[in-house]
Amino acid sequence: EIIAEKFGATRQEQDEYALSSHRKAIHAVEKGYFKDEIVPVEIPQRKGEPLLFAVDEGPREDTALEKLAKLRPAFKKDGTVTAGNASSLNDGAAAVVVASENAVKEKKLESMARILGSTTNPVEPSMAMYAPKGAIERLLTNVGWKIEDVDLFEINEAFSSQLVVLIKELGLDREKVNVHGGAVALGHPIGASGARILTTLIYALKHRGVKKGVASLCLGGGDAVAMAVEMV
What is the third-level CATH fold of 1-232?
Peroxisomal Thiolase; Chain A, domain 1 (3.40.47)
- For the chain, residues with pLDDT lower than 50 are none
State phi, psi for 58 to the nearest 5 degrees. Answer: -65, -50
Instruction: State the pLDDT at residue 89.
Output: 84
Closest listed residue to residue 211, CA positions, set 155, 121, 145: 145
Burial class (CB in 10 A: 0-12, 13-18, 19+), 142: middle
Domain boundaries, the chain: 1-232
Tens of pLDDT, residue by residue over 107-121, are 999 999 999 999 999
Instruction: State the pLDDT at residue 13.
Output: 98
Question: What is each CA distance from 219 to 34, 116, 121, 128, 192, in whole angstroms?
Answer: 25, 21, 10, 7, 12
- pTM higher than 0.85, yes or no? yes
